[in-house]
């Protein structure tokens, strides 16, 4: 790939603009995706944080779920943060009965895993693929990865505190997911890592 990769940001709901800014800072071009036509010609897709039940409803209602599944299961690189991680997961604990996902990532995620008493918190992570400097992560009613299949690599775990050791960043080939919101902190290393994945795949 010589030019900037074109990365779609699923814009049904959630923190779309923050991902656009982070991706632009990493040299990618972006396009908001609200319809199946807007998926045409993308090099990759980002599924933002927000509310996964709402995203699921809207994707079904707007005819996006099947096209999204076809692309993501067919090898389109995708990155999901928080609700986006849930959308990319094959299995959910604590989901709504009617909640569907795009899937592709062979993991079980637990919704609102860190407990309702702490709606949001910040923690340092060990994330060796991003270098020695710890990642300062923001979690907002976040899921964690409860279990994972053999093809899934753990990229990040909570370093300390009551949730120490919990899996919060994973990669399976062309799919990347984080429980936290790197788009909110100004640390673009996760997005840089994803854009590099996209360039390698191209
Ligand atoms: N709890 C939300 C959900 O289940 C995710 C929260 C977030 O994306 N910040 O979708």
- For the chain, list the domains and their CATH numbers: 6-201 (3.40.50.880)
Residue nearest to atom 1 of ligand 1 (CA): 141
Residues designated catalytic = 82, 181, 183
Could you tell me the pTM of the whole model?
0.97
179 close to 139: Cβ distance less than 8 angstroms: yes
111 lines ligand 1 (CB under 6 A): yes
32 close to 11: Cβ distance less than 8 angstroms: yes
Q: What is the chain's pLDDT, residue by residue, as a tens digit (202 residues)?
A: 678 999 999 999 999 999 999 999 999 999 999 999 999 999 999 999 999 999 999 999 999 999 999 999 999 999 999 999 999 999 999 999 999 999 999 999 999 998 765 678 899 998 999 999 999 999 999 999 999 999 999 999 999 888 899 999 999 999 999 999 999 999 999 999 999 999 999 8
* Distance in Å, CA 200 to ligand 1 centroid: 29
| Dist CA 166 CA 172 (whole Å) | 18
Cβ atoms within 10 A of the Cβ of 157, count?
17
Strand partners of residue 107: 148
Choice from 111, 138, 168 to test ligand 1 binding pocket (greatest atom count within 8 A of CB): 111
80 lines ligand 1 (CB under 6 A): no
Choice from 50, 94, 182 to test ligand 1 binding pocket (greatest atom count within 8 A of CB): 50
Strand partners of residue 137: 123
Relative to the CA of 139, which ligand 1 atom is closest?
Answer: 9
105 close to 172: Cβ distance less than 8 angstroms: yes
Residue nearest to atom 2 of ligand 1 (CA): 51
Question: Concatenated DSSP letters for 45-60?
Answer: EEE-SS-HHHHHHHHH
Distances (CA, A) of 197 to 5, 7, 27, 77, 190: 11, 12, 13, 8, 11
């Amino acid at each position: 790939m010589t030019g900037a990769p074109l990365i779609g940001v699923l814009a049904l709901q959630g923190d779309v603009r923050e991902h656009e800014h982070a991706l632009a800072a990493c040299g990618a071009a972006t396009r908001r995706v609200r319809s199946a036509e807007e998926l045409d010609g993308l090099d990759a897709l980002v599924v933002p944080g927000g509310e996964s039940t709402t995203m699921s409803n809207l994707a079904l209602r707007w005819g996006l779920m099947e096209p999204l599944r076809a692309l993501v299961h067919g090898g389109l690189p995708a990155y999901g943060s928080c609700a986006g991680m849930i959308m990319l997961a094959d299995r959910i604990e604590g989901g709504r009965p009617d909640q569907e996902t795009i899937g592709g990532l062979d993991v079980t995620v637990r919704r609102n895993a860190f407990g309702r008493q702490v709606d949001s918190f910040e923690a340092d992570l060990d994330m060796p693929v991003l270098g020695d400097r710890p990642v300062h992560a923001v979690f907002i009613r976040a899921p964690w990865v409860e279990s994972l299949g053999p093809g899934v690599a753990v990229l990040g775990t909570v370093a300390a505190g009551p949730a120490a050791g919990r899996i919060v960043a994973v990669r399976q080939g062309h799919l990347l997911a984080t429980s936290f919101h790197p788009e909110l902190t100004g640390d673009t290393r996760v997005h840089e890592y994803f854009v590099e994945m996209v360039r390698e795949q191209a």
